[in-house]
């Protein structure tokens, strides 16, 4: 159950960030040119951009690090980093959707991943509405609104007066309730201003979807099962196997374990892996069930649009468009989905 909606005035925003920095290592969204990215807070609030759209980095980087030590030698204890937990500010709804897949993989089984589970429990999510859309945004086609509805602790909806605040967890409610000097009750007019802005941004994303002819997820059923190899061969022709589409994706989660000697001890590392790389599926003896690049591209789509809907009821795509921006081969997931739907 949500608390009543509050307003955080612009003049008190810096106090809010400073409050968080007492208990958390705070990361804030900033903008340089046309690029938005997350930066460790160092006292300057003027460069923070709360609204706009998602940053370049996926949220998963704060919950499953790209490279981390998971064991020291053969000790049973789980290594713990020295840093404070994170407070990530300005998280968008497309990244929050990624939790549905990441949680299913790392936190909903009998054997939970201790690193991921600890980060989920300790880190703070301060999400924010999108206040614009970029060409690659198509979240609505995946049933996601351009504003957070779940999986956040506190949400900020930027309006002219400041931010309409909504608590979405016990942790978020406690933070709001313990700091009444920062948060006032939001007026009906302020809530209306938020709703009007949400409607405007929805219109921008809908325009994107129409212009790029992106099919809605209601049409995705069986699109992989009935696809022909010729489509995948064509789409994979320019792929260079860089793995950018996997590492930048908020739902991709595959990893590789390896041991490395560090000083006099041996450490086990976990790093992100990519299903687009040839050796990803290679087994002992050199066998590889997906030796061709087109097979690996098909597998990537199969995982997102067939496997996860079957096992978790959720498509493993958030419509964030990061893979489109990151791909040097200009493989556009929206165009592939259209071809798959049209050929079904």
For residue range 224-262, what is the model confidence (pLDDT) as tens digits? 987 888 999 999 999 999 999 999 999 999 999 999 988
Give the end of a domain, one of 165, 190, 211: 211
Average pLDDT for 266-286? 92
Please tell me whether residues 31 and 93 are part of one structural domain: yes
Same domain, 51 and 16: yes
Q: Check whether residue 108 and residue 240 sit in a common domain.
A: no
Residue 28 lies in a domain: yes
Asked, for residue 1, whether it belongs to a domain, the answer is no
Asked if residue 167 and residue 125 are part of one domain, the reply reads: yes
User: What pLDDT, on the 0 to 100 scale, is given for residue 262?
Assistant: 84
For the chain, what is the domain count?
2
End residue of a domain, out of 187, 211, 235:
211
Both structure tokens of 201: 């941004």
Same structural domain for residues 17 and 160? yes
User: Considering the domain boundaries, does residue 136 fall inside one?
Assistant: yes
Verify that 203 and 224 share a domain, yes or no: no
H helix or E strand, kind and range, residue 206: helix 188-211
Q: Are strands 67-72 and 6-9 parallel, antiparallel or unpaired?
A: unpaired
pLDDT of amino acid 81:
74
Query: How many residues in the chain?
Result: 344
pLDDT digits (tens, 9 = 90+) for 35-49: 899 999 998 888 999
Q: Are residues 113 and 175 both part of a single domain?
A: yes
Residue 286 lies in a domain: yes
Q: For a pLDDT cut of 90, what percent of the chain falls above it?
A: 84
For residues 42 and 19, what is the distance between their CA atoms, to the nearest angstrom?
13
What is the residue range of 232's domain?
217-343
For residue 2, name the pLDDT band (cuts at 50, 70, 90): very low
Distance in angstroms (rounded) separating the CA atoms of residues 304 and 19: 39
pTM score, whole prediction: 0.93
- Which of 191, 211, 231 represents a domain boundary (last residue)? 211
Q: Which residue has the tokens 């030590």?
A: 69
Whether residues 28 and 120 share a domain: the answer is yes
């Amino acid at each position: 159950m949500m608390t009543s909606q509050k307003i955080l005035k612009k003049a008190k925003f810096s106090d809010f960030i400073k409050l968080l920095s007492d208990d958390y290592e705070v990361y804030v969204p900033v903008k340089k040119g046309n690029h938005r990215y997350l930066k460790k807070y160092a006292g300057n609030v003027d460069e923070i951009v709360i609204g706009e759209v998602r940053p370049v980095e996926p949220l998963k980087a704060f919950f499953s690090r790209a490279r981390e030590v998971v064991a020291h030698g053969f000790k049973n204890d789980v290594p713990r980093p020295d840093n404070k937990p994170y407070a990530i500010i300005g998280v968008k709804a497309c990244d929050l959707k990624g939790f549905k897949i990441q949680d299913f993989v790392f936190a909903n089984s009998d054997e939970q991943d201790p690193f991921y589970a600890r980060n989920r429990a300790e880190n703070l999510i301060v999400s924010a509405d999108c206040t614009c859309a970029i060409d690659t945004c198509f979240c609505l086609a995946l049933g996601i609104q351009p504003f957070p509805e779940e999986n956040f602790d506190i949400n900020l909806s930027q309006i002219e007066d400041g931010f309409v605040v909504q608590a979405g967890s016990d942790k978020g409610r406690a933070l709001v309730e313990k700091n009444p000097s920062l948060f006032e009750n939001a007026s009906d007019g302020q809530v209306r201003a938020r709703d009007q802005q949400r409607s405007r941004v929805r219109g921008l994303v809908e325009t994107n979807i129409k212009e790029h002819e992106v099919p809605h997820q209601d049409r995705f059923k069986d699109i992989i099962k009935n696809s022909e190899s010729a489509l995948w061969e064509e789409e994979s022709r320019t792929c260079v196997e860089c793995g950018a589409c996997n590492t930048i994706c908020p739902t991709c989660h595959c990893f590789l374990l390896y041991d490395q000697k560090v000083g006099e001890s041996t450490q086990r590392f976990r790093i992100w892996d990519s299903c687009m790389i040839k050796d990803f599926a290679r087994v002992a003896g050199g066998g590889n069930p997906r030796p061709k690049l087109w097979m690996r591209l098909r597998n990537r789509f199969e995982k997102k649009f067939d496997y996860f809907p079957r096992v978790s009821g959720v498509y493993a795509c958030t419509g964030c468009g990061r893979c489109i921006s990151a791909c040097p081969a200009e493989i556009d997931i929206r165009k592939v989905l259209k071809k798959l739907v049209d050929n079904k």
